[in-house]
Structure 1
Amino acid sequence: MDLILWRHAEAQDLEAQDHGAGLDDMARPLTRRGEKQAARMAAWLDRQLPEGTRILVSPARRTLQTANALGRKYRVHDALQPGAQVDAVLHLAGWPDARVPVLIVGHQPTLGQVAARLLGMTATDCAMRKGAVWWLRQRQRQGLAQTVVQTVQTPDLL
């Protein structure tokens, strides 16, 4: 199974956009730079993703904007909102048994925690840059399940 983790692109800081209006974290939009990051990564992903890839997205505005740049159909899941639990993300993705690749558009630190767990890191999470993609694959080698990194891509390198 392929599991692709896409962290949302750069978003406005909550304090910078609030100005006493009482806005919440879920309403934060992408910055102009974030829109460019999302567009660059989406163009790359569109060339790489197999047909039939399931796309699952957090309901936060910044993740929706990031996913919209891809121009493919997706499903929004509350289980992917900021602060999501690793087990919930993996269950939603169907890891490791899903028959089709799954792209998750979500948040830190959850995505870094998912990557750390699947890669057997001693740390409980790893840093993931804004707008970056981590593509992980579950495979069988000599009767043992292994998770391998297919690629890590950042929008700044595209």
Structure 2
Amino acid sequence: MDLIIWRHAEAVDPGEQLADIDRPLTPKGEKQAARVGAWLDRHLPEGTRVLCSPALRCQQTALALGRKFKVRDELAPGASAQDLLAAAQWPHARHPVLIVGHQPVLGEVLAQLLRIAGGQCGVRKGAVWWLRGRERDGDEQAGVWAVQSPETV
């Protein structure tokens, strides 16, 4: 199975009048999302399920892809790695799954699947990590198929 993890693009800083869940993308973030969204649209297979955090900045990032997506409450800020993997149906989903979400959980999922010591992996704003899973000798494994940041696409 393919699991594609996309961190939301740059968002405005939280303020006293703005709840974290309502933070929109900055103009720079809109450009980041458009660049990565165009790259993803060229490379994602048909049938890819797109799941998104309910946070405004994630929904705006997902909109840049130009495909239908489902908002999933279990991907909201504060989600756990297990929440994300369950939503994606890792490793048994029939189709590729793209998750649009947040740090630190995205980095925790990457660390878990790639067996990175320390349990954390940095994910830049707007960046996408494409993992490809397989089973070898009864062991579920994940490998990196691609990593793209808004500056490199």
Structure 2 length-normalised TM:
0.97
Q: For structure 1, list consecutive stretches of 5 or more residues without a partner in the other structure.
A: none
Structure 2 distance, partners of 1:89, 1:142, is 25
Give the alignment partner of residue 141 of structure 1, picking from 107, 130, 136.
Answer: 136
Give the alignment partner of residue 95 of structure 1, picking from 78, 87, 90.
Answer: 90
Per the TM alignment, residue 122 of structure 1 is displaced from its structure 2 partner at its CA by: 1.1
Opposite residue 148 of structure 1, the aligned amino acid is G
- Asked if 1:44 corresponds to 2:36, the answer is no
Q: How many residues align?
A: 153
Partner residue in 2 for 1:57: 52
Partner residue in 1 for 2:28: 33
Q: Percent identity?
A: 61
- Asked if 1:73 corresponds to 2:71, the answer is no
What does the per-residue CA deviation read over 1:39-89, in whole Å, with 9 as the maximum and x for residues that have no partner?
000000000000000000000000000000111001000100111111011
Partner residue in 2 for 1:14: 14
SS for the counterpart of 2:130 is strand
Structure 2 distance, partners of 1:97, 1:142, is 16
What does the per-residue CA deviation read over 1:9-55, in whole Å, with 9 as the maximum and x for residues that have no partner?
0000013xx4xx3x200000000000000000000000000000000
Kindly report the root-mean-square deviation, in angstroms, between the aligned alpha carbons of the 2 structures. Answer: 1.0
Q: For structure 2, list consecutive stretches of 5 or more residues without a partner in the other structure.
A: none
Q: After the TM superposition, which parts of structure 1 deviate over 2 Å for at least 4 consecutive aligned residues?
A: 140-145
- Asked if 1:125 corresponds to 2:120, the answer is yes
Task: Give the number of the structure whose alpha-carbon radius of gyration is greater.
Answer: 1
Opposite residue 94 of structure 2, the aligned amino acid is R
Per the TM alignment, residue 142 of structure 1 is displaced from its structure 2 partner at its CA by: 4.6
Per the TM alignment, residue 140 of structure 1 is displaced from its structure 2 partner at its CA by: 2.6
